Amino acid sequence: MANIKFSNVGKSFGDNKVINNFNFQGKDDEFLVLVGPSGCGKSTLLRMIAGLEQIDQGEIQINNEVINEMHPSKRHTAMVFQSYALYPHMNVYDNMSFGLKIEKKTKEEIHSKVLSAAKTLKIEDLLERRPKELSGGQRQRVAIGRAITRNPKIFLFDEPLSNLDAALRAEMRVEISRLHQKIKTNIIYVTHDQVEAMTLADRIVILNNGNIEQVGTPNEIYTNPDNIFVAQFIGTPKMNIFKINSENIVSNNKINILGSSIPFSGINLDKKNYYIGIRPEHLTLNENQEFNFTPKIELIENLGNEKIVYMVSEHNQLCAKISSDIQINNTFGFNLKNILLFDENGLRIRS
Amino acid sequence: MKIKNLLIYSIISSFFLLSLISIWKILVTLQGLKLENFNTTIIFILGFLFSFFNVFISERLNFIFKFLFFALIFVYVDGFLISKLPIWYNIGIVFILYFFASKTKKYNSNFLNNEHSTQLILFDFLTLFGIVLFSFVILFPFYMMLVTSFKTQIALLVNPLDFSIDFNQDLKELFKSYFVIFTSYNFGKYILTSTIVSLGTVFITLIFAIPAAYAIARLNFFGKTFMSTSILIIYMFPAIVLVIPLYTVFSQLGLRNSISGLLIVYTATTLPVAIYMLQGYFKSIPKELEEAAILDKLSWFGIIIKIILPLSIPAISSVALYVFMIAWNEFLFSLMFLDNPNSFTLSRAIQYLSGDAETPRQYLMAGSVIVTLPVLFIFVYFEKYLVSGLTAGSVKG
């Protein structure tokens, strides 16, 4: 049980402002994922919570206690590093018990804590081994186990799966999800992989250039993005975005696009530039769509269960994701409810 | 099959064989054998023929048979027919031929068909040739040193160019020089002084170098870049430039003829390189390990003791070894600062003995062997630490 609160947090390396006026309020026991492109400040934020980076301005509170000046080991956080950072000269047991030994806990207490952590992660057989005798997945488990023995209020994961191969990553993702259900503690998880963010998170914080772009549950972020950055960042392939010039705006609620004139309700359009977004999975070959268009198909990628179709229509590059058992003809269709409208600054216009 | 490759291979390999056997012949002359001539032509022709036919018969004949057959011909022609030499000489020749045959085993007709095989052969043999020649050049003085130390004064005077060891005399006679330098020349005391000075230097240097190297590798402080780049500046001055000012200073401070004076100078001269070597290694230790240790509530001091030191054993032992060797072999400063035989180090003591015309040569050589041996043993013992990479497995990769 812990909640974390950021108020006006800022951080700069030299002249380079990495994080600027960061405000956020966490909830109890939630799995929070910080996601963003590389260099967006997500890892820096995590290291500031852990105490490995100085907090330049503002303050971070855990359970209403300011932690800015607190020693890293007293913040009740435990960190899992991307590179595992296991001590190579100690075996797994010593690695996991190292922090407890320094805190001068009794031998029995250390033993029971290490064993229960090992049991949670199913690494009881590995306790005598050295890190170099472990596989990547096992090392990651030991690193998580070391964090568990610290009994923290908040777990900090810094891209823990990015050193693993694709199959193992999927497996460990499920295990981390299970672990959270089992131990019910706050987890702050940093990643650049949107799949991890979508599958693991209770709430996602999408960061870009040190600013929050959107906070929400995975479903909210996917269906209801606040801006073009979020819309394009989540989902593979990326959302199709095309620019609408003022001549394509027919009236104050009608836009000409892909050969159709689309009426929007509840909005008032000026003669300005707009952006239209539609997800590849919402372009379908089904005849019963509200609007249809006939693009020129350039390339089809077959992924087995689905096909990605790359095409051009009215100088707009488009891409569609369709089930692979559907025969591809030349007519694609889409529905009004799946179209997202953004203004010229990339902000969402909701109808 | 390329004729060019075949010819080049045969010529190079027979030159190699010629050089191997010539070295052996030089060594046996030292042992007192009288050779009328080196038979270079015969050896060259035999080597050439063997290399040549080796290419054709290599697949068809077992290696052992092939080598035995060749060795018999060689020993018969060179050893008995021409020179009539004793059996131990020919056994040596057989070993050389075994070495040669095993080295040329891989050059079969397939290998010679390869476009690049000439270059490969050339580099292979240059490497082998270099190893054999330079180890001979380097090891020969050691051999001389060893042999001379086992001789008597008379034997040395009768035939100074006889490099054989007479194993027929009894052991006490053989090791006489060693007994003498310990009993009448006080070498036990010199060894003790040298050991104290060398180990002391290692100890003090490490005590200063480890925190300094850690600070340069990890911490940010004012003047860090200047510090780390200027560490090696002391090596821009030749020691002879420093030694005279130091002599005056040490004379006034009363540090001449004292172990502590030597410790100060040796530490000062070895510290820069020690720091330089260690900081490079410390930088290679992943930073995350230390961050993990910080989260585990370790202080800076604790991090150095519990994380950095165990992981740096290879680097620290090589630095220790290096410092020990420098201090043990150091000569210039001990020559200048020590003039009282009571505080001599080993190298100074040998110089002192050699300056004395009455000191027999075999005693000097016995002393030299004693100076050399500890460094040799320590090197063999520490070698395993120098190669093992302890950081493997801590981080991906």
pLDDT in tens, A160-185: 998 888 888 998 999 999 999 988 89
Residue B392 included in any domain: no
Q: Say yes or no for a CB contact (<8 Å) between B393 and A133.
A: yes
Residue B28 has pLDDT above 50, yes or no: yes
Q: What is the pLDDT of residue B386?
A: 60
**Residue B286 and residue B197 share a domain:** yes
Residue B156 included in any domain: no
pLDDT classification of B392: cutoffs 50, 70, 90: very low
Per residue in B281-329, pLDDT tens? 888 888 889 999 998 888 888 999 999 999 888 888 888 888 998 899 9
CB contacts of B293 in chain A (<8 Å) are 87
Q: What is the pLDDT of residue A110?
A: 94
* Min Cα–Cα distance to chain A from B302, Å: 10
Calculate the average pLDDT of chain A: 89
Q: What is the pLDDT of residue B59?
A: 67
Per residue in A183-195, pLDDT tens? 889 999 999 988 9
Three-class secondary structure of residue A215 per DSSP: strand
**Residue B295 and residue B243 share a domain:** yes
Q: What average pLDDT does range A131-157 have in this prediction?
A: 91
The b/e string for B139-148 (b: 16+ C-beta within 10 A; e otherwise) is eeeeeebbbb
**Angle, CA A251 vertex, CA A245 and CA A257 arms, to 5°:** 45
Residue A249 has pLDDT above 50, yes or no: yes
Q: What average pLDDT does range B151-159 have in this prediction?
A: 80
Task: Tell me which residue range forms the domain holding B292.
Answer: 181-387
Q: What average pLDDT does range A250-266 have in this prediction?
A: 81
Q: What is the pLDDT of residue A14?
A: 85
Q: Say yes or no for a CB contact (<8 Å) between A102 and B289.
A: no
Which domains occur in chain A, in start order? 4-229 (3.40.50.300), 240-349 (2.40.50.140)
Q: What is the pLDDT of residue B385?
A: 63
Q: How far apart are CA A31 and CA A45, in angstroms?
A: 16
Q: What average pLDDT does range A302-324 have in this prediction?
A: 88
Q: How many helices (H) and strands (E) does chain A have?
A: 8, 22
**Residue B90 and residue B207 share a domain:** no
**Residue B201 and residue B262 share a domain:** yes
**Residue B213 and residue B86 share a domain:** no
Q: How far is CA A195 from the centre of its chain?
A: 7
Q: Say yes or no for a CB contact (<8 Å) between B394 and A88.
A: yes
Q: Say yes or no for a CB contact (<8 Å) between A81 and B292.
A: yes
Q: Say yes or no for a CB contact (<8 Å) between A88 and B396.
A: no
CB pairs under 8 A between A and B: 80
Residue B125 included in any domain: yes
Q: What is the pLDDT of residue A32?
A: 94
Residue B15 has pLDDT above 50, yes or no: yes
Q: What is the pLDDT of residue A190?
A: 95
User: Could you tell me what percent of chain B has a pLDDT over 90?
Assistant: 15
Q: What is the pLDDT of residue B391?
A: 42
Q: Which range is least confidently modeled, A157-166, A294-303, B85-94, B268-277?
A: B85-94
- Which of 362-391 (B) contact A at CB < 8 A? 390-391
Pairing verdict, β A31-35 and A186-191: parallel
Q: What is the pLDDT of residue B393?
A: 39
User: Could you tell me what percent of chain A has a pLDDT over 90?
Assistant: 47
Q: What is the pLDDT of residue A66?
A: 92
Q: What average pLDDT does range B45-51 have in this prediction?
A: 84
Give the closest residue to A138 by CA, choosing from A84, A93, A185: A84
pLDDT classification of B389: cutoffs 50, 70, 90: very low
CA distance from start to end of chain A: 39
* Min Cα–Cα distance to chain A from B217, Å: 18
Q: Say yes or no for a CB contact (<8 Å) between B292 and A51.
A: no
Domains in chain B: how many in total? Answer: 2
Domain end: B108, B138, B168, which one?
B138
- B394 φ/ψ angles, rounded to the nearest 5 degrees: -75, -30
**Residue B204 and residue B84 share a domain:** no
Residue B210 has pLDDT above 90, yes or no: yes
Spatial contact of B77 and B46, defined as CB atoms under 8 Å apart: yes
Q: What is the pLDDT of residue A330?
A: 78
**Residue B361 and residue B226 share a domain:** yes
Residue B397 has pLDDT above 70, yes or no: no
The CATH number of the domain where B316 resides is what?
1.10.3720.10
Residue B127 included in any domain: yes
Q: What is the pLDDT of residue A114?
A: 94
Indicate which of B290, B295, B309 best probes the interface with A, i.e. most A CBs within 10 Å of its own CB: B295
Looking at residue A341, the DSSP 8-state letter turns out to be E
Residue A34 has pLDDT above 90, yes or no: yes
Q: Say yes or no for a CB contact (<8 Å) between B291 and A88.
A: no
Q: Say yes or no for a CB contact (<8 Å) between A134 and B394.
A: no
* Min Cα–Cα distance to chain B from A80, Å: 9
Residue A63 has pLDDT above 70, yes or no: yes
Residue B9 included in any domain: yes
Domain end: B115, B138, B161, which one?
B138
Helices (H), chain A: 42-50, 92-102, 107-121, 136-149, 166-183, 194-200, 218-223, 228-233
Pairing verdict, β A31-35 and A203-208: parallel
* Min Cα–Cα distance to chain B from A317, Å: 40
The b/e string for B70-81 (b: 16+ C-beta within 10 A; e otherwise) is bbeebbebbbee
Three-class secondary structure of residue A235 per DSSP: coil
Q: How far apart are CA A29 and CA A184, in angstroms?
A: 6
Q: What is the pLDDT of residue A126?
A: 92
